[in-house]
């Protein structure tokens, strides 16, 4: 009888824990003339997010070697800066806890700068 009571308590606790935590996955994407970007993010309990940005250079240049490369998200809320870039794809993670997390109706402003060029575009939930 004790074993059944113990198992019943464990089952109830598991249901409560699973029911109290929520998780949403969002996928934002967008493009400019030279770049396309994606942000896939997992939202936990409305105050924590973990995601990954992926940006790809779209032009057919045989080789690239960009100087002073940067990507700024939402006016420097997150992003990267590098002295040079030789790969067409740039990936970086983003996470926060106790922050304003991404919402499905958000537009993420992206500014990409390289070799004296600058393009601005928005990532929107798809």
User: Which uninterrupted H or E stretch holds 4?
Assistant: helix 2-20
| CATH fold of the domain at 23-125 | Immunoglobulin-like (2.60.40)
Confidence at residue 12, expressed as pLDDT on a 0 to 100 scale:
55
* Residue located via tokens 């929107």: 124
Confidence at residue 14, expressed as pLDDT on a 0 to 100 scale:
47
Other CB atoms within a 10 A radius of the CB of residue 31 amount to 17
Residue-wise pLDDT tens digits, 86-100: 999 999 999 999 988
Structural domain spans, the chain: 23-125
User: Which uninterrupted H or E stretch holds 39?
Assistant: strand 35-44
Please check whether residue 86 is in contact with residue 64, taking contact to mean a CB–CB distance below 8 angstroms.
Answer: yes
Confidence at residue 76, expressed as pLDDT on a 0 to 100 scale:
73
3-state secondary structure of 20: helix
pTM: 0.78
6 has pLDDT over 90: no
Average pLDDT over residues 59-66: 86
In 3D space, the residue among 70, 67, 52, 61 whose CA is nearest the CA of residue 119 turns out to be 70
Q: What is the CA radius of gyration of the chain?
A: 20
Confidence at residue 55, expressed as pLDDT on a 0 to 100 scale:
97
Average pLDDT over residues 87-116: 93
């Amino acid at each position: 009888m004790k074993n059944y009571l113990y198992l019943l308590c464990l089952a109830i606790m598991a249901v409560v824990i699973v029911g109290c935590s929520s998780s949403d996955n969002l996928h934002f994407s967008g493009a400019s003339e030279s770049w396309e970007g994606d942000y896939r993010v997992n939202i936990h309990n409305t105050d924590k997010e973990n995601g990954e940005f992926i940006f790809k250079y779209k032009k057919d240049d045989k080789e690239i070697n960009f100087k002073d490369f940067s990507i700024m998200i939402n006016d420097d809320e997150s992003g990267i800066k590098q002295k040079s870039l030789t790969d067409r794809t740039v990936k970086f993670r983003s996470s926060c806890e106790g922050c304003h997390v991404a919402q499905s109706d958000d537009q993420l402003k992206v500014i990409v700068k390289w070799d004296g060029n600058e393009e601005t575009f928005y990532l929107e939930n798809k």
